[in-house]
Amino acid sequence: MSRNAIDKNAIDRSASGKLPLAAALALVLSAAPAMAEVIMFKGDLTGGAETPPSGSKATGEIEVKLDPASKKITWKGHYKGLRSEETQAHFHGPAGPGQNAPPVLPVDATGGKFEGQATLDAQQVKQLESGKWYFNVHTDKHPEGALRGQLTRVR
């Protein structure tokens, strides 16, 4: 066998060995889940945003992150200046500014700082993305709500 024949056979084996590897790699990469963009929302908590306005001079803020692929939200927030005890806190929806809606997700917000996570259903995700959720802090003095923040998308 000539030297050229050996080299050609070695090249053929090497090329045929790489083709299945490249095909397998392409298959693995195409099957990997796409990384969904996390969507950010923010709400400024004020008494004036309540419907009707509560008159509370307290203030606060909440930030929410939504992973649309998993439907998981995480939140972190704070408030200060309440004149009476915080009794409850919730995400409410669906409702736009100036509208009220029932609670959809309770939150432990005692002490002025809070954070947590939950998994939403498809309808809740759509409502949140549409700006139809708000966060509310209730107190003894304002049982209907002392602070409210409409959740708006951060672009």
Residue 26's pLDDT is 52
Other beta carbons within 10 angstroms of residue 93's beta carbon come to 23
Identity of the amino acid at 132: K
Q: What is the largest CA-CA distance in the chain?
A: 98
Query: Mind listing the pLDDT tens digit for each residue in 35-77?
Result: 569 999 999 999 999 999 999 999 999 999 999 999 999 999 9
**Torsion region of 52: left, alpha or beta (phi above 0 gives left; psi -120 to 50 gives alpha):** beta
10-residue mean pLDDT series, the chain (155 residues): 48 49 50 70 98 96 97 98 94 97 96 96 97 97 96 96
Rounded CA separation 5/75 (Å): 67
Domain boundaries, the chain: 1-32, 39-153
Query: How far does the chain reach from its first CA to its final CA, in angstroms?
Result: 69
